C-alpha cells in the first residue's frame, strides 16, 4: 500500500478548494489510552515509571531528546540504544495487545461523510509509523483521505512543521486553504509553525493544555458547526 502519494478524488463530491488535515491518534481513533498503556508497560520492563499525564502531554513527540529530558528530571538516564529498544517494544505491545481494541471515535464516520459532502478534501498527518497505521486505521477511513503523512516519512516529526509542510506540498495546497484538527500540544505547535489554522479537541487533554490552538472544541460534533461558522457554506 502506498500512502505517500495523493489519492485521486475522481468520483467523490467536487472538491471546494479547502483541505482538512486530521491527526490520527486522539482525533480520528480513540487510541491514546492504549498508546499510553503500551508506553508505560514498555518503560516498566526497563525499570522506568512515567505518569499517564506526562505521556499525554508529549503525545506524538516522544523522541530521544524528549525521553532524555523526562528521565533527567527524574534523576534517570536514557541513552540512544535503550530508547530505541523501548520504542520498538512500545510499538510491539501496542500492536499485539491493543491493536484489535482500537476504534474510531463514534462520531467520526458521519463527520467524515458530512465533510466530503460539503466538498472538503480530507488528509491525515500523524506521528504514528506506517506499519502501525496500516494495522489500526480502518480501510473505509483510509479511503476518505486524499493523502497521509506518517511519522517515519519525515526527517523531523511533530512539534516541527515538517509533517504538515510535506502534506501541503503533496496536496498542492497553501495554509490559507487548510484547517488542522489536533488534540495535543506537539501537533498544535507543528501546525502553527506551518502557518496553519488549527483547532483542538479535548479528547485527551483539558483546554488549558491546548491554549496555543486557534480554537478548542469539546466534541467532534462541534467541528461541523465551527467550519460553517468560520468558513461559511463555501
The series of mean pLDDT values per 10 residues for the chain, 234 residues long, is 40 73 98 96 89 88 70 66 89 95 97 95 96 95 97 94 98 97 96 98 97 97 93 70
pTM of the model: 0.88
Q: Are 31 and 128 in contact (CB under 8 A)?
A: no
Element containing residue 141 per DSSP (H, E): helix 139-142
What was the pLDDT predicted at 81? 84
**Could you give the domains of the chain?**
19-30+102-231 (3.40.50.1000), 32-101 (1.10.150.240)
Q: Are 207 and 216 in contact (CB under 8 A)?
A: yes
Beta strand extents in 48-111 (DSSP E only): none
Contact partners, residue 15, CB within 8 Å, separation at least 6: 9, 119, 120, 121
The per-residue pLDDT for range 111-131, each reduced to its tens digit, is 999 999 999 999 999 999 999
What was the pLDDT predicted at 11? 41
What was the pLDDT predicted at 8? 40
Contact partners, residue 178, CB within 8 Å, separation at least 6: 18, 19, 20, 21, 168, 196, 197
Amino acid at each position: 500500500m502506498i500512502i505517500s502519494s495523493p489519492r485521486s478524488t475522481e468520483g467523490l463530491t467536487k472538491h471546494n478548494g479547502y483541505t482538512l488535515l486530521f491527526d490520527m491518534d486522539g482525533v480520528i481513533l480513540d487510541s491514546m489510552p492504549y498508546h499510553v498503556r503500551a508506553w508505560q508497560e514498555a518503560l516498566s520492563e526497563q525499570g522506568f515509571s512515567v505518569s499517564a499525564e506526562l505521556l499525554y502531554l508529549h503525545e506524538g513527540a516522544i523522541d530521544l531528546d524528549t525521553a532524555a529530558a523526562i528521565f533527567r528530571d527524574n534523576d534517570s538516564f536514557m541513552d540512544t540504544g535503550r530508547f530505541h529498544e523501548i520504542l520498538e517494544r512500545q510499538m510491539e505491545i501496542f500492536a499485539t495487545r491493543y491493536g484489535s481494541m482500537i476504534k474510531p471515535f463514534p462520531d467520526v464516520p458521519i463527520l467524515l461523510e458530512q465533510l466530503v459532502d460539503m466538498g472538503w478534501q480530507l488528509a491525515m498527518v500523524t506521528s504514528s509509523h506506517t506499519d502501525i497505521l496500516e494495522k489500526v486505521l480502518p480501510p473505509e477511513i483510509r479511503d476518505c483521505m486524499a493523502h497521509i503523512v506518517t511519522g517515519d516519512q519525515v526527517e523531523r516529526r511533530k512539534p516541527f512543521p515538517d509533517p504538515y509542510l510535506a502534506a501541503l506540498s503533496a496536496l498542492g495546497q497553501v495554509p490559507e486553504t487548510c484547517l488542522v484538527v489536533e488534540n495535543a500540544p506537539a501537533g498544535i505547535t507543528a501546525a502553527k509553525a506551518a502557518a496553519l489554522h488549527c483547532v483542538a479537541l479535548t479528547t485527551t487533554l483539558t483546554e488549558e493544555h491546548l491554549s496555543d490552538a486557534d480554537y478548542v472544541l469539546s466534541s467532534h460534533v462541534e467541528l461541523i458547526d465551527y467550519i460553517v461558522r468560520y468558513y461559511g457554506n463555501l
